[in-house]
Structure 1
Amino acid sequence: MYSHSEGSSSSLQLQEETASSTNFNSHCSGDEEDPFISSLWGIHKTLDALRGNMSKQHLEAANAIDDHSDAEEATLPPTYIVLQVSPAVPEITLKWLIEKINGNKRDGGGELVVMKQPYNPDAGYILHLSASRYKFLEVAEELDLIKRDSKGQMREFTVAQLDDFLVEGMHVDDLLTMAEKQNIVLHELENIRALAEDLHIPGYPTSGLYESQSIFQACQEYGIVTGMFPMHDEEAVKKLWGGWFGFLVRRPFEEVRIYFGEAIAMYFHFLAFYTYALSIPVLLGVLQWLLLSVETLPFFCAINVVWVIVFLVMWKRRSNELAFEWGTIGMTSMDEPRPNFRGAMGVDAITGKIQPQSPRYMTYVKMLGSFAVVIVCMAGASVVMFMSFWAEDYVKNSNPENQVYLLLPSVVYSVVVFVMDTFYRRLATFLTEWENHRTQSQFERHRVSKLVLFEFVNNFLSLFYIAFVIRDMGMLRSQLLTMLIISQTINNFQETVLPLAHLHFTIKVHELKRRFLKKPCPSQPKVFRDDDAEPKEPLSYIKIPAVQQEDSRIKQAEYEANMEAYESTYDDYLELFIQFGYVFLFSSVYPAAAFWAFASNVVEIACDGFKLCRICQRPISRKVKDIGAWQVAFEVVGALSIITNCGLLYLSPQIRSLGYDYSETKWLFLFVVLEHALLGFWYLVRLIISDKPEWVRVGLAKKNYQSKQALKFEVRQRGPEYCSLWDYGNVIFRCNL
């Protein structure tokens, strides 16, 4: 176990504290120190002492990371983020960007380690980003990272209690996972913000910068940074992909979480949970399909609806269990602001940190404007759908024998929907950015909400029209079968085969260019120094550590730069959401739909694994506590499935033949009673089954109690001047209970 030495370490710590105190006092003009500043400075002194201890125990490794003067001779640190910079970027811009990334915090820098690799005109400038061991621990505490301690409890990591998180035989470098280190590097990169004197990006005089703007986001906006991704760990990928085909049996969720992060692990948990749960509707649906019994159809629909209710409630319970195990259940709107959050820099009233501040009411006002735009887009999609039906009827009546002519309206409608969908995705992202949400989870939730509304109209409105206006159940059944099988096959082809073909084609083109083009690429910039007559290798004028030519990271970075970026889990959840709607909104019409959904999900697990491991760049790990807005979306579809299935039974001639002597009023009464009974059952289930199991509630209460006791102890240690902090803490804990 890692431990602090008591002899030389103590003297070293004393020297560091004395020196630090001297430096601090030189910056303070008053006679009395502010208690809050004094507390922060105490943390800083502890971190400085820790850095001294680690440098003494692992001198070579520390020098390799922290001392850039001999970086060429030292062993370079691992690469955590790869940054692609456009080859057309001026020298002054590139130099400024690198200085911002590895500069000191006080100068607006990110204090990251920047390494360069030999220039490749096909890939542009490629920079490798890393950080020192000291930086990782410092930011881990700053981000309130939740880690499991030596007693098995999940709690916030602190440097002062480092030994509590190191189990027997663990090195301090193994405390944070690769995904967590990548997140820390990305966090520091995205939070490099413009200072008051940064009026524009050097070399780009028209690029106005405002104070506190994210430098990295601005560079992406102006095309300076063209790509950013963490590199794959080939050994870990081989191990993960090697056992992927037994996913539903092996259940390698923890391996997925460690490698890809909580967001992707939560998606696979949901996909597996949904697939397992489908076994009941599959069995009942196949029996109903084989029996073809009208008498059993109402019971089948009722059981299906009950399954939807129980499934959604139990999944919410399961997601809270996972969030507690992963330490993400406490994520709130007071988490770190996202890089694109705009506002004047100020002191946060709760955390005391210097962060962008913006009034919340402005976001609410903008959300009203966004909602109006979304309604207009939904209305436009509805009009296009009705025009498609009108065109199809017109073609059938005017030229019923020409089969090619009959397909024309459907083809045109599909193309129009694709174009509208592409445009609307960009619009939804723009509107959500304009609303200026504070945290990434808030941004994702509101963006998904806008997209789901539009996708619902595109995918389900035509089915509602066929079911309740045209009332053609044969046509509805045919549409459902087509959507479940053909659409899913096309989606899997687009996700795996097309990106793989594009990747191999791009690599072959680059190889041919290197082989046959003897002259330098015309787009390759020629960099001159003032005192040189000969052109120099690009980046030679910037004194940063260089990744040597024989380093395997060079080829890997160039290869993965051509891979498709994995943006988010949105498209994966969307596929499941649409499939869920097809299966349960109209289950009374096509009982076998659950079987096709189950088979499709088994294939989807394999395709998603192949996509993540072999086709896409390694996604940035992102922490989540649930599936966000998708939970509400699935619940809305679940509630609608009660109404639609009861409505389809009410309209079904076969069902009405069972009570041929019933009046229309009696049939309507039965429909209303059944629909209200099922909705009431849902409400009752949500009351009876808690969102959180007992052991999670006990764990949260225990954590709140321990935090409260720790705050009491700190108040006693600090003295009466912290009474106001204690009173404020009481309010916070009561709000969290």
Structure 2
Amino acid sequence: MKVSWSSYDTYEANFRPLVVVELAKDTKDETKEWLTQKIVDKKKNGGAQLLVKPLIQDGKEIEGSKNIFIIGASNLRLLLGAETVGLVKECNDNSMRTFTYTTRKTFRNFAEDNHDFLTMAECQYIIKHELENLRAKDETMIPGYPQAKLYPGKSIMRRLMTNGILIQIFPLHDAEALKKLGHIWYRQMKFRYQPLDEIRCYFGETIAFYFAFLEYFTFALIPMAVIGIPYYIFDWEDYDKYVLFAGFNLVWSTVILELWKRCCAVMAYRWGTLMMKRQFEEPRPGFHGVLGINPVTGREEPVYSSFKRQLRIYLVSLPFVCLCLYLSLYIMMVYFDMEIQAHLYHEENQSDLSSLMLYVPSIIYAVVIEALNRLYRYAAEFLTSWENHRLESSYQNHLVLKVLVFNFLNCFASLFYIAFVLFDMKLLRQNLATLLITSQVLNQCVEAVLPYWLQKRRNQRVKKKVKELEKDVDLSLFEQVNLEKGMDTYLGTFDDYLELFLQFGYVSLFSCVYPLAAVFAVLNNITEIYSDALKMCRIFKRPFAEPTANIGVWQVAFQTMTIISVATNCALIGMSPQVNALFPDSKIELVLIVVLAELQPLSEGAFFNSESGYLQHLALALKFLMSYGIADKPQDIRIKLARLEFESLEALKQQQMKMVAESLKGQTP
């Protein structure tokens, strides 16, 4: 049973500062008054029923801060908001249930005077949800800005942002909690499990799942690294010995992803996101179109033709992506020309310098690859935004697809060419090692070292206050807000997952040729954990928490990579002298048979005429059997979810029977 908002007074004189809203410096006073009134007004009047105060220092409004407002909420308002967004909390009977205000006393650690029942991240998420759902009623424009048109149902905050009136919204750090988290997370240089529950409480589930996956993937790489070291030391020139390593690689890449699903389900259940109901997805802020009626909600909102969107995708975006792929292949061929020149130079000189020159083309190519990946990312974001997707999920799916296709070809095309066209295993090992190590060093510099250095160069005073933020818990609110609003904005986990995806590709596709790939990946990820933790706590603004139950579309991306790795590893096994003895005429012929056997259906000729084709089908069958045999959720989690579903159905039956009984009671005999 939902509680009526109008029956509660959620005003509180002294509230906890949670969220900062910064408006443009030239924002008109009537706009400020109208917006603050919207924020504090009751829900029945179209407001958010939150608390708002201007940023002041020692009771005085200071120039430069008069356009900054602090948003908070009473404890009662946050509890009602928790019911609105569908937060799931632990009950006294150890079960996880959706929070409702009327049944609040059945939840563990709840007390009327306990303001810590909801984490600070959950409170900030609730406020963000309420601000984003501030919608126009009778207004036709933003007061003071006739060009900023409004219509019934339009998100006010999104209109303010698209018109440059709203600069930013960000959640405040908790200095004391941040200090404690940093101490147990990255200040102690110990190889141990991360404090994932604490990370989740402070940053939310999306950030916590990324660090959980980073940690899990690092530990999963250890068996590959342990096996790879002796293979590298003792069997460097004996390629046939790598057949066993490739076979282990096939099993490993499938098992770790299936086991991750189980770990993911356990964490999502414990954190209460496994059972959260997906809310109706609103249009993304950048979506635009002609004003119309949404057939589902009945509200007025922009409408854009899906046919026009498809034209933009297939006539502009797709040709552009193909052009970028061609450019990537052209640069790859330039790299191979550089390799030829380097080898000719070495053959003529036979010196230490000429030996070093053999690695120069690979290093240059690795740097160019990283530069192209980042430039293409900006182009992909622009194109995907220009396609004008209505939903954020659709936007993210198209962006991820564009980026992954280009990054895969840009990073791995040269490796496939060397392995299956040039058949040069020595060059393949050299190229793989150079690409892997160079990309890891560049990513560490770009993601952690460079932002930290730029922050230091940009404002020494900000750096000093960052240190004060962790040391001085009593830092004034005025100083804290001015400190944090100058920090960089965290853009999400996209680039972090992309880095892990490419790393997984290097390990799963060709690590049988270069077994130390897993070793370098482990070393990189250990430093990545600490550098990412540092940037989350020291460099970036605190991001809003976003409830999620898994790593999203990246799970599909990693699973797709495992399927590709089956074909790659089987082809590498098929190129060994033992298997290749069956095809003495041409290795290229063997590769063609492998590819055809993989692409065509399981016919008798394709299955038995090629040893490599047989191996690929067997490996794929084993992969899908393992995927089917390893349940996505542990047995105890499935039982708990089934019990909750059963109780919900029983409660629905009881409610329907009660309604039927009341209707029959009202009928005259």
Q: TM-score, normalised by structure 1?
A: 0.75
Matched, 1:628 2:561: no
- Superposed, 1:478-627 pairs within 5 Å as 478-508=430-460, 552-627=476-551
Q: Return 215-224 or 714-723, whichever deviates more.
A: 714-723
Aligned length: 613
Which of 401, 409, 419 is the aligned partner of 2:375? 419
Which of 387, 401, 407 is the aligned partner of 2:330? 387
Cα offsets for 1:10-43 (capped at 9, x unmatched): xxxxxxxxxxxxxxxxxxxxxxxxxxxxx76xx3
Which of 465, 471, 483 is the aligned partner of 2:417? 465
Cα offsets for 1:298-356 (capped at 9, x unmatched): 1110011110011111111221222222222234655454664888677968xxxx877
Give the Cα separation in 1 of the matches to 2:663 and 2:175. 51
Equivalent pair of 1:87/1:121 in contact (CA under 8 Å): no
Equivalent pair of 2:104/2:110 in contact (CA under 8 Å): no
Matched, 1:452 2:376: no
Q: How much has 1:274 moved relative to structure 2?
A: 0.9
- Superposed, 1:273-292 pairs within 5 Å as 273-292=216-235
- The 1:145–1:206 alpha-carbon spacing in structure 2 relative to 1, beyond 3 Å, is same
Give the Cα separation in 2 of the matches to 1:332 and 1:441. 16
- The 1:121–1:268 alpha-carbon spacing in structure 2 relative to 1, beyond 3 Å, is same
Matched, 1:261 2:204: yes
Q: How much has 1:722 moved relative to structure 2?
A: 8.6
Equivalent pair of 1:348/1:357 in contact (CA under 8 Å): no
- Gaps of at least 5 residues in structure 2 are 346-353, 465-473, 594-609, 665-669
Aligned to 2:607: none
SS at match of 2:102: helix
Cα offsets for 1:45-95 (capped at 9, x unmatched): 8x83xx57xxxxxxxxxxxx716xxxxxx5x31111111111122223333
Q: How much has 1:709 moved relative to structure 2?
A: 1.6
1:217 maps to a residue whose letter is: R
Give the Cα separation in 2 of the matches to 1:666 and 1:409. 29
Cα offsets for 1:136-163 (capped at 9, x unmatched): 1222112221111122211011111111
SS at match of 1:675: helix
Matched, 1:475 2:475: no
Aligned to 2:596: none
Which of 31, 35, 39 is the aligned partner of 1:97? 35
SS at match of 1:173: coil
Aligned to 1:176: 118
Give the Cα separation in 1 of the matches to 2:111 and 2:644. 27
SS at match of 1:295: helix
Give the Cα separation in 1 of the matches to 2:623 and 2:631. 13
Aligned to 1:82: 20
Matched, 1:308 2:253: yes
Q: How much has 1:691 moved relative to structure 2?
A: 1.2
Cα offsets for 1:437-495 (capped at 9, x unmatched): 2xx55654454334323322332233323333344433332222122222212211222
Q: How much has 1:229 moved relative to structure 2?
A: 1.1
2:390 maps to a residue whose letter is: N
SS at match of 2:483: helix
SS at match of 2:129: helix
- The 1:569–1:203 alpha-carbon spacing in structure 2 relative to 1, beyond 3 Å, is same
Aligned to 1:13: none
2:147 maps to a residue whose letter is: T
Matched, 1:697 2:606: no
Matched, 1:155 2:100: no
- Superposed, 1:73-472 pairs within 5 Å as 74=13, 76-118=14-56, 125-167=67-109, 171-195=113-137, 197-244=138-185, 245=188, 249-292=192-235, 293-331=238-276, 334-335=279-280, 337=282, 340=285, 366=309, 370=313, 373-392=316-335, 415-431=371-387, 434-437=388-391, 444-472=396-424
- What is the percentage of aligned positions where both structures have the same residue? 32
Give the Cα separation in 1 of the matches to 2:366 and 2:192. 41
Equivalent pair of 2:369/2:411 in contact (CA under 8 Å): no
SS at match of 2:260: helix
Give the Cα separation in 2 of the matches to 1:323 and 1:690. 16
1:135 maps to a residue whose letter is: R
- Gaps of at least 5 residues in structure 1 are 1-38, 53-64, 68-73, 513-549, 724-737
Give the Cα separation in 1 of the matches to 2:573 and 2:82. 57
SS at match of 2:459: helix
Give the Cα separation in 2 of the matches to 1:313 and 1:345. 43
Equivalent pair of 1:488/1:600 in contact (CA under 8 Å): yes
Matched, 1:687 2:628: yes
1:162 maps to a residue whose letter is: R
- The 1:590–1:218 alpha-carbon spacing in structure 2 relative to 1, beyond 3 Å, is same
Q: How much has 1:661 moved relative to structure 2?
A: 6.1
- The 1:616–1:658 alpha-carbon spacing in structure 2 relative to 1, beyond 3 Å, is same
Q: How much has 1:676 moved relative to structure 2?
A: 0.9
Equivalent pair of 2:437/2:520 in contact (CA under 8 Å): yes
Q: TM-score, normalised by structure 2?
A: 0.82
SS at match of 1:160: coil
Give the Cα separation in 2 of the matches to 1:371 and 1:328. 37
SS at match of 1:690: coil
Q: Return 333-342 or 448-457, whichever deviates more.
A: 333-342
1:466 maps to a residue whose letter is: I
Q: How much has 1:168 moved relative to structure 2?
A: 7.4
Equivalent pair of 1:503/1:562 in contact (CA under 8 Å): no
Matched, 1:674 2:622: no
Q: How much has 1:411 moved relative to structure 2?
A: 6.8
Give the Cα separation in 1 of the matches to 2:535 and 2:638. 37
Give the Cα separation in 2 of the matches to 1:305 and 1:377. 34
Cα offsets for 1:575-594 (capped at 9, x unmatched): 10011011111122211101
- The 1:137–1:322 alpha-carbon spacing in structure 2 relative to 1, beyond 3 Å, is same
Q: How much has 1:271 moved relative to structure 2?
A: 1.1
Q: How much has 1:553 moved relative to structure 2?
A: 1.1
2:265 maps to a residue whose letter is: N
Give the Cα separation in 2 of the matches to 1:327 and 1:368. 41
Give the Cα separation in 2 of the matches to 1:609 and 1:167. 29
Q: How much has 1:213 moved relative to structure 2?
A: 1.9
1:674 maps to a residue whose letter is: L
- The 1:229–1:370 alpha-carbon spacing in structure 2 relative to 1, beyond 3 Å, is same
Q: How much has 1:413 moved relative to structure 2?
A: 6.8
- The 1:458–1:209 alpha-carbon spacing in structure 2 relative to 1, beyond 3 Å, is farther
Cα offsets for 1:519-578 (capped at 9, x unmatched): xxxxxxxxxxxxxxxxxxxxxxxxxxxxxxx97111011001111111211111111001
Q: Return 682-691 or 388-397, whichever deviates more.
A: 388-397
Cα offsets for 1:266-287 (capped at 9, x unmatched): 1111111111111111111112
Matched, 1:44 2:44: no
Give the Cα separation in 2 of the matches to 1:642 and 1:375. 28
- The 1:573–1:722 alpha-carbon spacing in structure 2 relative to 1, beyond 3 Å, is farther
Give the Cα separation in 2 of the matches to 1:226 and 1:722. 55
